[in-house]
Amino acid sequence: MLSTDNDILKAAEAWRKEGRAVALATVVETWGSAPRPVGSNLVIDEQGNFLGSVSGGCVEGAVVTEALDVIESGKPKMLEFGVADETAWKVGLSCGGTIRVFVEKVE
């Protein structure tokens, strides 16, 4: 069962209070077939632990990897995954669609 958006945001807050470095990934746009709607969240800590979902399949792994970079650099990123992207099959969007995910460090 997926956690609710409220659970995910509460986890981000709790993890920060524990001293963990945290990033929040949010689906900001979808087109075509997309497993999660706009507004879906994934919270990631500096060790790669995560809660929530922005897509599924390998997209999640790619977002976690990018989130670790965001945590380290402090610079937000806009990620896009879709059928026009040569990595679409690798990240699990082989049935069509595009998603844009904004990843930011939580301070």
The number of distinct structural domains making up the chain is: 1
User: Could you tell me which residues come within 8 angstroms of residue 34 by beta carbon, excluding any fewer than 6 positions away?
Assistant: 27, 55, 97, 98, 99
Where are the alpha helices (H) located in 1-107, listed in sequence order?
Answer: 5-17, 57-73, 88-91
pLDDT at 25 over 70: yes
Instruction: For 41-93, write each residue's pLDDT tens digit.
Output: 999 999 999 999 998 777 889 999 999 999 999 999 999 987 654 555 555 55
State the DSSP code for 6.
H
User: Could you tell me which residues come within 8 angstroms of residue 48 by beta carbon, excluding any fewer than 6 positions away?
Assistant: 64, 68
Per-residue pLDDT at 95: 59
* Bridge pairing between strands 50-52 and 41-45: antiparallel
Name the residue range of residue 66's domain: 5-106
